[in-house]
Amino acid sequence: MVKCDICGLREAVVYQRHTGRRLCKECFFKDVLERVLNEVKRYEMFKDNDKIMLAVSGGKDSYVLMNIMTQIHDPSKLGAVTIVEGIKGYNRVEDLDQLRAYAKDHGIDIVVVSVKELSGYTVDEMVENSIGKGLKISPCTFCGIYRRRGINLVARSLGYNKVATAHNLDDEVQTLVINMLRGDEARLIMLHPKRRRFSELFVPKIKPLRKIYEYETARYAYLKGYKPQIYECPYLNMMPSLRSKIRDILYRLEEERPGSLLKLLEEYDKLFEKEVEKREVKLNTCIICGEPTSPGRRVCKACELLIKTGLLDTSLK
Ligand code: SF4
Ligand code: ZN
Ligand code: ZN
């Protein structure tokens, strides 16, 4: 039996490749919890009185987020929201029921909203129209925009003052690299945990798991016995996005040089810390739906997509 490198007593069940340690279940859970707490404190992500809405999808990371947040914040001040995309074969009643049951067991109220309720169309319908018009828009673009919008709308209307998402370290570094490659300065600033609030209409977002590797959230979920959603989205590989290419490259880099992703994010955090305090990104308001939109835009991306696919009838272009 290989013993845990921390307690030296119990059997090691996790090889934490970025530290080179082998850990038992208990020491691994403790290690993840402590690292989340460090990050939460370092960036003052929330205060004792904050009402935090957890954005959950039913995937492994959302179970880990709920588990950890109920340990570090008063469960009566937590809520959860999940967005049903409207993707055939992916949105399953059993998964939703399980998510509901888990949230209920942890004293968290969960709100379920569909993309159809938000936009009038399911993601499947948007994709179908887009293909019909010969457009090359990734299904994830429709899905991501409406999911983010739904989460923000629900949190705002129910009076939550923070939204916590389950983004892990791998997600964060992928976004960082994408924004750098695109030279998207505004988004680079907005990614930083110390960014200012850009619009009263946006409930500030926090990402407590941003320094936890994806392999760790997967192991955490497995060792806790969670049964997250296992069906893959049919659109996952339909149109390889820049993100999926970056994901592959970063995965290989991490394999060769364990700890690289963590180092990248740590360096970004330090380098941009001073910059984000000085910078103000002014968001515009969409002239169609009244929701906030990126600097320089008159029509938000959500409305623009519906116009392009012929699902929103307006003369405004
Ligand atoms: Fe949505 Fe893309 Fe994820 Fe499918 S793979 S659920 S379309 S973001
Ligand atoms: Zn141990
Ligand atoms: Zn709009």
Q: Which tens digit of pLDDT belongs to each residue from 213-236?
A: 999 999 999 999 998 888 889 998
Q: Please give the distance, rounded to the nearest whole angstrom, from the Cα atom of residue 303 to the centre of ligand 3.
A: 4
Q: 239 falls in which pLDDT band (50, 70, 90)?
A: low
Q: Please give the distance, rounded to the nearest whole angstrom, from the Cα atom of residue 124 to the centre of ligand 1.
A: 11
Q: Is the CB of 235 under 6 A from ligand 1?
A: yes
Residue nearest (by alpha carbon) to ligand 1 atom 4: 233
CB neighbours of 278 closer than 8 A, spacing ≥ 6? none
Q: Is the CB of 140 under 6 A from ligand 1?
A: yes
Question: Which of the listed ranges 16-20, 92-96, 278-282 does the model predict with the highest average pLDDT?
Answer: 16-20
Q: Mean pLDDT for the chain?
A: 94
What number does the ligand 1 atom closest to the CA of 123 have?
7
**CATH classification (class only), 43-279:** alpha beta
Q: Is the CB of 139 under 6 A from ligand 1?
A: yes
Phi, psi (degrees; rounded to nearest 5) at 238:
-65, -45
Query: Stretch 35-62: mean pLDDT, rounded?
Result: 97
Per-residue confidence (pLDDT) for residue 90, from 0 to 100: 92
User: What pairing do the DSSP bridges indicate for beta strands 205-206 and 162-164?
Assistant: parallel
Query: Stretch 63-92: mean pLDDT, rounded?
Result: 96
Q: Is the CB of 143 under 6 A from ligand 1?
A: yes
What number does the ligand 1 atom closest to the CA of 144 have?
8
Domain ranges in the chain? 1-41, 43-279
Closest CA to 39 of 224, 217, 262, 219: 262
Q: Where are the alpha helices (DSSP H) in the chain?
A: 25-42, 60-72, 93-105, 115-119, 123-132, 139-157, 169-182, 185-190, 214-224, 242-256, 260-278, 301-308
State pTM to two decimals: 0.94
Return the percentage of the chain with pLDDT > 90, whole number. Answer: 82
| Spatial contact of 114 and 105, defined as CB atoms under 8 Å apart | no
Return the percentage of the chain with pLDDT > 70, whole number. Answer: 98
For the chain, the farthest-separated pair of C-alpha atoms sits apart, in whole angstroms, at 70
Which ligand is nearest to the Cα of residue 239, counting in written order? 1
| Spatial contact of 13 and 220, defined as CB atoms under 8 Å apart | no
CB neighbours of 65 closer than 8 A, spacing ≥ 6? 54, 56, 164, 165, 166, 208, 209
